[in-house]
Amino acid sequence: MSTVRLCHLYPAEMSIYADRGNIAVLRRRLEWRGMTLEVTGAGLGEPIDDTFDVYYLGGGQDRDQEVVAADLGPTKADALRSATDDGAVFLAVCGGYQLAGHGYTGVDGSRMPGIGLLDVDTVASTGPRLIGDVIIDAELDGVHRRLVGFENHAGRTSLGDVRPLGRVVHGHGNDGASGGEGATRDHIIGTYLHGPLLPKNPALADAVLGWALGHAGHDAALEPLDDALETRAHAVAASRAGVRR
């Protein structure tokens, strides 16, 4: 039986946006195909290795993000860089996205260092929070995907030598002005889309699983599933934003 190994980073501190729902989707979509997901949590002070196929880092409050930022570099950064250089998947959502970059500067000027997996940097704005339904047009493995989700962040994220995950069709995205949302390179994805992200975007979930299976040495081709319910959820999210599929 094919097994994918996932490391859930800071499940106690960085899981406020239904992040466990994303992991549940990955588990179920593998099980429906006769495969398994093995999940290992890694919290504060717990070193990790570079042998996992997927690493997941979710969202958290600023106070939790500050604690995680102080721990991430000393205990996990080297393994994450090694693993992603070897083709492992890294999926980071909201606060996790900010820490996957060079860092996050809070509204009080405090600096939370990131680990630089993505060439992005985030600064908290004193202006309005960027909140609401989001729709983006993304391209993964050369295939166009329309992704939906919800955003709620004060951060304004600027991109360096990295491409956005997608073009904003509706919503704010990285900074409310550039027209881009998230960032991606290789098999690393950072995004502000949550709520959670994967139940409404089965194509993205399967892209992540295909990458992970390939990294684990298994056949990356996935049998199609009946995604009628997921497609309905996607359509509801899009209609709530006033955009048709």
Q: What is the CATH number of the domain that holds 73?
A: 3.40.50.880
Instruction: Give 48-96 pLDDT, tens digit per residue.
Output: 999 999 999 999 988 899 999 999 999 999 999 999 999 999 999 999 9
Cα-to-chain-centroid distance, residue 241: 21
Assess if residue 245 is contained within a domain: no
d(CA 196, CA 25) in angstroms, rounded, equals 10
d(CA 205, CA 183) in angstroms, rounded, equals 16
Instruction: Give 212-225 pLDDT, tens digit per residue.
Output: 999 999 999 999 99
Q: b/e map of 129-143 (b: 16 or more CB within 10 Å)? A: ebeebbbbebebeee
Active site residues per annotation: 94, 194
> What domain range is 201 assigned to?
3-240
Here the tokens at position 181 are: 């949302």
Residue 242's pLDDT band (cuts 50, 70, 90): confident
Assess if residue 163 is contained within a domain: yes
In the three-class reduction of DSSP (H, G, I as helix; E, B as strand; rest coil), residue 39 is classed as strand
Q: How many domains does the chain have?
A: 1
DSSP 134: E
Give the best-scoring range by mean pLDDT among 1-5, 16-20, 117-121.
Answer: 117-121
Residue with the two structure tokens 């709520």: 195
d(CA 213, CA 148) in angstroms, rounded, equals 24
